[in-house]
């Protein structure tokens, strides 16, 4: 076993989601962001993001669409997925 040093790398996997969600909720409590805010307000580079609409010749087909560009802060925290038909899909552990 090696001793831990300043350069030791740790595998966090999904643990970073918890840290990010706590930080986001703290910002909500301070009135700095809203759960219903469009993510692109805070991350402008996502404003014109393309979405995966299919696969052709084993390559992703990405489409720019105003219909799917509205992603809320709360969607990111719930791991919400919206399919190409606009249907909200919740992972089983989040289904209510």
Q: Which residue has the tokens 């989601």?
A: 17
pLDDT confidence of residue 96? 44
pLDDT confidence of residue 92? 57
Query: Is the C-alpha dihedral spanning 22, 91, 54, 85 positive or negative?
Result: negative
pLDDT confidence of residue 93? 55
pLDDT confidence of residue 90? 63
In whole angstroms, give the CA distance from residue 35 to residue 26. 11
- Give the DSSP H/E element, type plus range, for residue 15: helix 15-29
pLDDT confidence of residue 17? 79
Instruction: Please tell me whether the overall predicted TM-score, pTM, comes out greater than 0.85 for this model.
Output: no
Give phi and psi for 25, each to the nearest 5.
-65, -35
Q: What is the mean pLDDT, run by run of 10 residues, along the chain of 96 residues?
A: 85 77 92 89 82 86 74 76 66 51
Q: Give the domain ranges of the chain.
A: 35-94
């Amino acid at each position: 076993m090696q001793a831990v040093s300043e350069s030791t790398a740790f595998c966090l996997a999904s643990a970073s989601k918890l840290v990010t969600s706590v930080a986001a909720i703290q910002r909500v409590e301070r009135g700095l962001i809203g759960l219903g805010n469009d993510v692109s307000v805070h991350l402008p580079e996502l404003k014109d993001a393309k979405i995966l609409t299919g696969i052709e010749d084993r390559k992703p087909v990405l489409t720019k669409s105003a219909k799917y560009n509205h992603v809320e802060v709360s969607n990111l925290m719930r791991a919400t997925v919206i399919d190409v038909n606009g249907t909200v899909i919740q992972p089983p552990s989040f289904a209510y």
